[in-house]
A and B are shown apart, each in its own frame.
Chain A
């Protein structure tokens, strides 16, 4: 049985699982079958990823369906599998007691199948079918879960924005395909400058919208929080990465005249998304919405790596081009691991502790220890702290950006500035996740609901622990993957994998040694300090009593930042104090940080669109005579065009 057959077999099991979810009371079993199917696909992809080469069809420019797998696709299929297997197993218990859980389970399987279809598609039609399904199915799952008004609005915004932006995907792919440039770099290089520019810009807009890059991200923080947790994990962990997969195919393989301006655009958009994403994440009060903003940040970091790679390519420095490319892909996998872990954790917390407002959580380390530890590991990873996986890929990305200047790439001065933006992003992520971990897991419970919180069932814990182990494992030995990832770019056979991260002109990152040294030191220090403890007493806090009503909130913790960056953030604050006879009767406080992209960028756009729409409606007068006039006008115009020979 060939590898492609095994892949098709795995996908068939996945589809079988999807169909069996429709049988009532089979939901759990169906999700397990789906997980087994995706797992099989992932195993095949792992083989192809390590062995290299290509399985099945190559890219074709016709319209007949073709499927295949090469190292790049295999890497993304592997990412899908590593995320989807725990997500589906998590869902098998997460959906307990959810209304219409059969439909959600079936949609989950179909969603994963659509993701895989995009990745193995080798012709433009199959790709676009998979692409549209991948967009539509999560929207369906949102509406099935909670068909109320806010969710309908979120789904509407999601579909509108991704479809308006997604037109770019159609344009770039259809133009490439019509010039026979899919999988044919020579034809891609032969395209004229204007056509290449059209393809590049529409690819950045189209795939960038789906990836949630700023300023095309408007849908992302709305759509992710309302989906079921495991679908959110898949959307954030994999779906936005599949968009980057398309961007990589077009920019790096099919339109291969590496233009400096495209690289600069990617670095600019990447830095904007990284900083903007984390900055707005800081001021979110809802856990899943906060995580959604962090997805924008991380996609920005990946885009920074891709931009650096393209810039090295444009300056003819293939070694660092491949390292920067590997950094971007490594961060793709790392982000898939920790972000899906965090979304699953948020789902578990929401289900079992009945809260998604961060300010109303607290003390979960006591009541949900396993979920909490996994969540804390994911938080440290996303904050880019050594020795976890987030640090490894951010280190490699930072090095790539610094080496833009050190190795004097064209326009390399942009490198250190982007690196500095990335460092600020990492520091803000630390601030954000100190807040999240502190408010959710530590301290005393901040809400009466939390008294009843209990640990998640076995399957949900196992899914989270698997992803947490993945975060640790990828942090200890990221170097095992890097040579394979770099070889995708160079096309040469992969160098021998090493545990440590090495790159020319750096001190190297011996990840395993760092973890061992840190671990050893911590254990020695904890032992050295002994066990002698004074009698327990309440926290001192300068003589005050720590009262629950005086607990610090998320807004309080971010206040220094809100004030320090007031010029950029434009926070709103509204304090109403009502007094009677000189005595304060009540005080009301309301504050928020408005999303400036919405108010400054999108609202005028929407208003203008509505105005144009109102104007266009005048054409639809309802009068038969005016329609007849339009028809006559159309025919006359067509005749004129034919007469002038514009149709060739």
Chain B
């Protein structure tokens, strides 16, 4: 473990923790521009975090230690997921390794913790959101593994650093499975970040909430944690997508610039989708994500049938 790798890792964690709240802020800002509204500044999430940090927490009456600890567990899981990510072109040294499959486990841990709080308070709206979130997660996890498999095939490894390296350059775009992976991962990104057409982050109608539902009872610093976790989820998924499925090449500095550029493009993509597409019926989500699974399967089959130079 050399010093550069450690420094890069510390840098990427600090960057992730610091910049993550900007991502949903940028989406909201772009969306407002697209819809002809003035809208809040991209820094609005930071202001909300500061406001929430100054307020007291709240413990509803029938609640146990599960309710109190869940926000910390969610943040710990997301922060660990952030560590697992690699930095394009640079050596990194995460204490918990860089395995892609670990990411899936950490995201599941966060989901488990927040869903349990819904049962703890017994609030019907929270339970509704939790049940839907977990149902969507079934298709999302299955699809995410297929996407990761598509990215791991050319790399010959599930180490994110090797996967990022294999996705660099132009040659990979000649193989059809990479395109399949890109399309399938786009669906995962929409679902995991809780954006339309899967979920509507702006909704104030409890009956339609998915990710927001279990957050209804929280206040103060607990809610600040959970909101940061939601934006960290954007960070993890979008960085992963940009590194594995979007074009990048050149020396490390160029790749970092490209990464920033692609992140902005991805955020713009989310904003445009949110503007153009309405939220779909809950029962159509498995079909929607199943389409992605079909595309990814085509990619995997093509890897085994199409000849390789």
Which A residues lie at the B interface, using CB under 8 A? 365-366, 380, 383-386, 391, 395, 398-399, 402, 405-408, 412-413, 415-417, 419-424, 426-428, 430-431, 433-435, 437-439, 442-444, 505-510, 513-514, 517-518, 521-522, 525-526, 528-530, 532-534, 536-542, 544, 546, 550-552, 556-561, 563-566
Contacts and interface: CB of A to CB of B under 8 A. Distances in A.
A391 B108 CA distance: 11
Determine which residue in B109, B120, B225 has the highest number of CB atoms from chain A within 10 A of its CB, and name it: B109
A522 B102 contact: no
Contact of A443 (B100, B119, B146): B119
A261 to B, nearest CB: 18
27 contacts: A386-B106, A395-B101, A408-B304, A417-B300, A426-B108, A430-B134, A434-B115, A435-B119, A438-B116, A505-B157, A505-B159, A506-B158, A507-B84, A510-B97, A529-B57, A529-B222, A530-B221, A532-B57, A533-B59, A536-B59, A536-B61, A537-B60, A539-B63, A539-B122, A541-B124, A560-B132, A563-B283
B80 interface: yes
Interface string B283-309: 101100000010001001101100000
Contacts of A507: 84, 97-100, 102, 157-161
Contact of B134 (A384, A423, A427): A427
B285 A541 contact: no
CB-CB nearest 8 A-B residue pairs: A438-B119, A507-B99, A521-B76, A539-B60, A416-B149, A525-B72, A507-B159, A424-B142
B117 to A, nearest CB: 9
Contacts of A533: 56-59
A540 B216 contact: yes
A536 B217 CA distance: 12
A437 B286 CA distance: 25
B243 to A, nearest CB: 14
B73 interface: yes
Given A395-B101, A420-B145, A541-B124, A384 B108 contact: yes
A517 B95 contact: yes
Contact of A525 (B75, B101, B217, B301): B75
B111 interface: yes
Interface of B: 56-66, 68-69, 71-73, 75-77, 79-80, 83-84, 95-102, 104-106, 108-109, 111-112, 115-116, 118-127, 130-132, 134-135, 137-146, 148-150, 152-153, 156-161, 206, 216-217, 219-222, 225, 282-283, 285-286, 293, 297, 300-301, 303-304
Contacts of A386: 102, 105-106, 109
Given A395-B102, A537-B58, A539-B123, 18 more contacts: A365-B65, A380-B112, A402-B149, A413-B301, A419-B145, A420-B143, A442-B66, A507-B84, A507-B99, A510-B97, A518-B76, A521-B80, A525-B76, A529-B225, A534-B56, A541-B126, A551-B122, A564-B286
A37 B222 CA distance: 51
Contacts of B142: 420-421, 423-424, 427
B123 A541 contact: yes
A431 B111 CA distance: 9
A564 B135 contact: yes
B62 to A, nearest CB: 5
B46 to A, nearest CB: 17
A426 B135 CA distance: 12
Determine which residue in A507, A522, A542 has the highest number of CB atoms from chain B within 10 A of its CB, and name it: A507
Contact of B61 (A433, A435, A522, A537): A537
Contacts of B121: 443, 539, 541, 546
Given A385-B108, A423-B145, A444-B62, A509 B99 contact: yes
A644 B124 CA distance: 79
Given A420-B142, A428-B138, A507-B102, A385 B109 contact: yes
B34 to A, nearest CB: 31
A546 B84 CA distance: 41
B131 A542 contact: no
Given A398-B145, A525-B75, A539 B220 contact: no
B60 A540 contact: yes
A617 to B, nearest CB: 49
B309 to A, nearest CB: 16
A167 to B, nearest CB: 37
**Contact residues of A: prevailing secondary structure:** helix
A502 to B, nearest CB: 10
Nearest to B145: A423
A513 B96 contact: yes
Contacts of B125: 541-542
A561 B135 contact: yes
B149 A419 contact: yes
A392 to B, nearest CB: 10
Contacts of A559: 131
A510 B83 CA distance: 13
A496 B208 CA distance: 54
A50 to B, nearest CB: 27
Given A399-B101, A514-B80, A539-B61, A522 B72 contact: yes
Nearest to A408: B304
Given A431-B138, A518-B80, A522-B73, A560 B131 contact: yes
A319 to B, nearest CB: 14
B150 to A, nearest CB: 8
B104 A437 contact: no
A517 B57 CA distance: 25
B159 A365 contact: no
A290 to B, nearest CB: 16
Determine which residue in A505, A534, A564 has the highest number of CB atoms from chain B within 10 A of its CB, and name it: A564
B29 to A, nearest CB: 29
Contacts of B134: 427, 430-431, 434
B172 to A, nearest CB: 15
Contacts of A426: 108, 141
Nearest to A541: B123
A91 to B, nearest CB: 30
A534 B58 contact: yes
Contacts of A558: 131
Contacts of A435: 119
Contacts of A398: 101, 145
Nearest to B158: A506
Given A406-B153, A507-B158, A509-B97, A534 B219 contact: yes
A598 to B, nearest CB: 24
A232 B85 CA distance: 43
Contacts of B222: 529
Nearest to A443: B122
Contact of B146 (A408, A420, A532, A538): A420
Contacts of B126: 541
A427 B137 contact: yes
A385 B107 CA distance: 9
A406 B157 contact: yes
Given A395-B105, A405-B153, A526 B159 contact: no
B19 to A, nearest CB: 19
B228 to A, nearest CB: 10
Determine which residue in A544, A558, A561 has the highest number of CB atoms from chain B within 10 A of its CB, and name it: A561
A26 to B, nearest CB: 41
A7 B83 CA distance: 48
A538 B72 CA distance: 22
